[in-house]
């Protein structure tokens, strides 16, 4: 039994999308609990609900029914401003397509959320440079995304997600656009941050390399949890 604090609770959550005249049940009465420090992966076929669950936890979407609770706060009870602040301060996002700001340097991308939080310039610089060094990009801080490889851009995205010290990092297919060696390096970084700093990760993935590293595997089928395996 995991005695770490609960970060996320999904309670009988359902999400339906309208596609033309057809209703698509992306998630069906799904319940799930995640604890601090987990390194967990959602996997399953396309359309099984992986990205939808990340969007619901990340307050990018809202369920048709059920409750999404982050650090004890029911997201349905928060105002739009409170949800924006929650996304900024407590949730880190790592996307398949990197989603870096192209006109900003790696350093400026890494410090972006800290600037939105109003962190003083000196503290922003210290924290952003420290995390860029953690992910092996200390020498490339002044390069813009178009001057970095795909793997380097994803490392900047990881740095940007981690530097505000969120409760959880949601990583949607983070290794999909990189080669095997780069994927292994990215996973090494995230695994180290998880073990050494206690950063909680939840992945959605088709990638066996991610599944091999995860310490908890949650298999989805037709918008429901079909299997949930905790590994040592």
pLDDT digits (tens, 9 = 90+) for 23-58: 889 999 999 999 999 999 999 988 899 999 999 999
Q: Residue 156 in 3-state DSSP?
A: helix
| β-pair type (73-74, 65-70) | antiparallel
- Check residues 178 and 142 and name the one with the higher pLDDT: 142
For the cut 90, the answer to whether the pLDDT of residue 1 exceeds it is no
> In angstroms, rounded to a whole number, what is the distance separating the alpha carbons of residues 107 and 129?
7
- Domain span including residue 216: 6-99+168-230
| % of the chain at pLDDT higher than 90 | 68
Domain holding 45: CATH number? 3.40.50.300
Q: What is the pLDDT of residues 8-32, one digit of tens each?
A: 999 999 999 988 888 889 999 999 9
For the cut 90, the answer to whether the pLDDT of residue 97 exceeds it is no
The pTM score is 0.90
**Which residues make Cβ contacts (< 8 Å) with residue 16, sequence separation at least 6?**
23, 24, 25, 26, 64
Q: Examine residue 22 and state whether it is found in any structural domain, yes or no.
A: yes
pLDDT at res. 85: 92
Q: Examine residue 148 and state whether it is found in any structural domain, yes or no.
A: no
Segment 192-214 shows an average pLDDT of: 91
Q: Examine residue 124 and state whether it is found in any structural domain, yes or no.
A: no
Segment 193-222 shows an average pLDDT of: 92
Q: Examine residue 141 and state whether it is found in any structural domain, yes or no.
A: no
* Confidence at 96, pLDDT banded by 50, 70, 90: confident
Q: Examine residue 157 and state whether it is found in any structural domain, yes or no.
A: no
Q: Examine residue 126 and state whether it is found in any structural domain, yes or no.
A: no
Nearest to 63 by CA among 129, 15, 12: 15
* Distances 142 to 145, 146, 189, 209 between C-alpha atoms, Å: 10, 12, 21, 31
Q: Examine residue 191 and state whether it is found in any structural domain, yes or no.
A: yes
Which tokens is 230 given?
């905790």
Q: Examine residue 226 and state whether it is found in any structural domain, yes or no.
A: yes
Q: What is the pLDDT of residues 134-174, one digit of tens each?
A: 888 899 999 999 999 988 998 899 889 989 888 899 999 88
For the cut 90, the answer to whether the pLDDT of residue 180 exceeds it is no
**Which residues make Cβ contacts (< 8 Å) with residue 80, sequence separation at least 6?**
none
Give the number of domains in the chain.
1
pLDDT at res. 183: 85
pLDDT at res. 175: 85
């Amino acid at each position: 039994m995991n005695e770490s604090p609960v970060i996320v609770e999904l309670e009988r959550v359902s999400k339906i999308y309208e596609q033309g005249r057809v209703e698509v049940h992306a998630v069906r009465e799904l319940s799930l609990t995640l604890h601090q420090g987990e390194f967990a992966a959602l996997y399953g076929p396309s359309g099984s609900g992986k990205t939808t669950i990340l969007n619901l936890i990340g307050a990018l979407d809202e369920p048709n029914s059920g409750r999404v609770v982050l650090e004890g706060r029911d997201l349905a009870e928060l105002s739009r401003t409170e949800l924006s602040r929650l996304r900024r301060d407590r949730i880190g996002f790592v996307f398949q397509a990197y989603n870096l700001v192209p006109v900003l340097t790696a350093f400026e991308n890494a410090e972006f959320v800290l600037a939105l939080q109003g962190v003083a310039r000196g503290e922003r610089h210290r924290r952003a440079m420290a995390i860029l060094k953690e992910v092996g990009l200390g020498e490339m801080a002044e390069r813009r995304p178009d001057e970095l490889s795909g793997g380097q851009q994803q490392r900047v995205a990881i740095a940007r997600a981690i530097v505000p010290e969120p409760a959880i990092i949601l990583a949607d297919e983070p290794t999909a656009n990189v080669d095997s060696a780069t994927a292994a390096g990215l996973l090494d970084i995230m695994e180290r941050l998880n073990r050494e700093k206690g950063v909680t990760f939840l992945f959605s993935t088709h990638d066996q390399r991610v599944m091999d590293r995860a310490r908890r595997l949650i298999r989805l089928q037709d918008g429901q949890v079909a299997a949930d395996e905790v590994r040592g």
